[in-house]
Structure 1
């Protein structure tokens, strides 16, 4: 995979905090120089009090599009099950315009069963949800081509997940960014699988940016192995009630050293 300049993302988790706190943290992260500001697409907290404060993903992205001016924004990741693909395409196009072309369309097949049960979606099986994602991605692409006005540019698509038979095949066909999980050795293996899927699809794997989640309390130097495998986008996850951006400062300093 191509070695690109290092970028740092922040997943500002919309849980256990009031919205003014989330908004202030987003503004501070942009001021510090973060490259990408993500939230996530859930309806309940993933840790802490399971019924604690939480906000919806895409309405928040629309607000961030207005409240920020430089940083890229997106969901890490949108759950495909929660919205009709054509509607999601229209939402993405709209946020793309509001943000002057700063949206990343992050998407995955979904996994958090409580969301499905509480909001009336069919949970089904992991394989079935991946099949639904495979059906949705071409529909999203088709709808983006029909909208008036069209998106400001080709909206980059980020696909999250590591399944070798289905997810990585979808990455090879549709993604501009692949969000991965695991250590450097796991990534090395999965990149080999992804290269084969790209060969089967007739696509240059160098077109796909490699992204990885990292622990907020980890040291940037620990990411050396991931960087050697070609990861260029490193994303920290930080939540409420009082988001602490001190670790983000360390990662941004490391980014600047790497890119010097």
Structure 2
């Protein structure tokens, strides 16, 4: 199947916001979450790290899954999940149970965003083995079937068939895992790179017998994004556009711009 299948999808454009859990205390984060839902954003993300990724390296920071449980209780409409969970921080069966529990707290709004991990400081300071990128990807490929199998055994079962989002753009391993397991593929790619990777993903999907139209294409956009970039990536099949916000101030101006573009694209 060619990459034209991605562009032919009937899925509407959606907007995600990644609220980085850094450089702000929880009341400020909670306020930002409420504003994001009130604005009409489709998906709310955080990230699974233990230290800030930019700014003061030892600044304020909170843990991802604990926040997601709180956000699931706080919100009522928006989908939510990590962008992305680090597979090697937690036993796969435990990951499945955490995700299932938050799926219930949210009433079936969880997206299980996951990846292989990359930020070495997290590993070193929390006592996880960093290994190599290949080893971490092999662990992700090994653990996703365990996670999916655990969801069939838990009592109560998940509220819905939990969507799996996989983040990353590795062409040999990551995109093969996407083809096998993902409902959503997320990357940070320019348009030329995205087009090439979609072709590779289509090849992996053919190899595993997967219809690529089952995979929603997601991308991260910069705060100063241009509408021309959005339109070019939309033409390739991107349907979920996510902008990242960080403390101490969560500026909603880019979110409002992106929502206005979404509404025009879906009109």
TM-score normalised over the length of structure 2: 0.96
Query: Deviations along 1:123-179, whole A, 9 cap, x unmatched?
Result: 000000000000000000110010000001100000000001100000000000000
In 2, are the aligned partners of 1:92 and 1:103 still within 8 Å (CA)?
Answer: yes
Write out aligned runs for 1:190-209 (5 A).
190-209=197-216
- Give the match for residue 219 of structure 1: 226
CA distance in 1, matches of 2:88, 2:224: 32
- Give the match for residue 166 of structure 1: 173
- Give the match for residue 85 of structure 1: 92
In 2, are the aligned partners of 1:220 and 1:250 still within 8 Å (CA)?
Answer: no
CA distance in 2, matches of 1:181, 1:125: 21
CA distance in 2, matches of 1:258, 1:222: 13
- Give the match for residue 11 of structure 1: 18
CA distance in 2, matches of 1:7, 1:216: 16
CA distance in 2, matches of 1:39, 1:11: 5
2:57 aligned to which of 47, 50, 54? 50
Report how far residue 185 of structure 1 moved. 1.0
Write out aligned runs for 1:177-192 (5 A).
177-192=184-199
- Give the match for residue 124 of structure 1: 131
Report how far residue 253 of structure 1 moved. 0.5
Report how far residue 222 of structure 1 moved. 2.5
1:35 aligned to which of 27, 35, 42? 42
- Give the match for residue 81 of structure 2: 74
Report how far residue 223 of structure 1 moved. 1.3
Does residue 152 of the first structure (1) align with residue 152 of the second (2)?
no
- Give the match for residue 70 of structure 2: 63
In 1, are the aligned partners of 2:17 and 2:245 still within 8 Å (CA)?
Answer: yes
CA distance in 2, matches of 1:44, 1:158: 23
RMSD between superposed Cα atoms in Å:
0.7
- Give the match for residue 250 of structure 1: 257
In 2, are the aligned partners of 1:76 and 1:160 still within 8 Å (CA)?
Answer: yes
CA distance in 2, matches of 1:219, 1:189: 21
Gaps in structure 1 of 5+ consecutive residues: none
Report how far residue 32 of structure 1 moved. 0.3
Report how far residue 220 of structure 1 moved. 3.4
In 1, are the aligned partners of 2:191 and 2:229 still within 8 Å (CA)?
Answer: no
Query: Deviations along 1:24-78, whole A, 9 cap, x unmatched?
Result: 0000010000000000000000000000000000000000000000000000000
- Give the match for residue 102 of structure 1: 109
Does residue 134 of the first structure (1) align with residue 141 of the second (2)?
yes
Dislocated runs of 4+, deviation >6 Å = none
CA distance in 2, matches of 1:94, 1:131: 26
Report how far residue 217 of structure 1 moved. 2.0
